[in-house]
Amino acid sequence: MLATDLVRRLGGDAVALSRTELDIRDANAVKACLLAHRPDVVVNCAAWTAVDDAESREDEALAVNGHAVEPLAGFSAKLGARFVQISTDYVFSGVADHPFEEDATTAPINAYGRTKLAGERAALENGGYVVRTAWLYGAAGPNFVHTMIRLAGERRTVDVVDDQHGQPTWTADLADQLVLLIDSRAEPGVYHGTSSGQTTWYGFAREIFTLLGADPDRVRPTSSGLFVRPATRPAYSVLGHAGWAKAGLPPIRDWRHALHAAWSQLRMD
């Protein structure tokens, strides 16, 4: 989703490579690719994102999310290209009562988070940028918004967890923010690319039903304990945005405003 919106935002300036065109686990292929294209900026949108599968296949996830980032960031630095690594709220423990700032202590509670943290370290050690994001939705690809739209047409009621807090983030907004970061020449480091404000999955679902013209009371709150999954999810994934202020840049807008703006592209009629 993010790569699609980022390429659309960059237009003809972007060289977008699919998984079949470049296996980022192959350091020699990465080096050859960068030498061929000589980019000014490299944004790594590639990732193992199957969170539950990572619990039993952590080595495979680490190969993509962690080990592959070192040569990608390293070769970019040698060519003078700025490197941007997309990361996740899952590098945090999820135990908090106020937003995690960019310099907060990391403590991932699942394999996915551990592998993404390894990628962060590789990017930062090579002078790159790390942009953490969370709760992404967009027009391209499956996501929570599309699931809720589908379920609204299939079920009388939908049970959604109300004990996980986060920031729904439209990939088009994040793409714009990445371009803003790149164009600004801000200092390398960690930035949090999530919408402002916060809600729960339950609150997010109610807003989706409202936009559908459906009764939001059809969404019923429930507990994460009723949905047992291999990977533990953070209970609190709200990220602070002080890094943008330090760089003289505005944060991403409020999640609800973004959802309303995105709606015409998300609605599946």
Active-site choice (112, 129, 191, 236):
112
Indicate if 112 belongs to the active site.
yes
Contact between 173 and 195 under an 8 Å Cβ cutoff? The reply is yes
**100: which strand partners?**
239
The radius of gyration computed from the CA coordinates of the chain, to the nearest angstrom, equals 19
Contact between 97 and 153 under an 8 Å Cβ cutoff? The reply is no
How far is CA 259 from its chain centroid?
A: 16
HEC string of the chain? CHHHHHHHHHHHHCCCCCCCCCCCCCHHHHHHHHHHHCCCEEEECCCCCCHHHHHHCHHHHHHHHHHCHHHHHHHHHHCCCEEEEEEEHHHCCCCCCCCECCCCCCCCCCHHHHHHHHHHHHHHHCCCEEEEECCEECCCCCCHHHHHHHHHHHCCCEEEECCCEECCEEHHHHHHHHHHHHHHCCCCCEEECCCECCEEHHHHHHHHHHHHCCCHHHEEEECHHHCCCCCCCCCECCECCHHHHHCCCCCCCEHHHHHHHHHHHHCCC
Supply the residues annotated as catalytic. 112
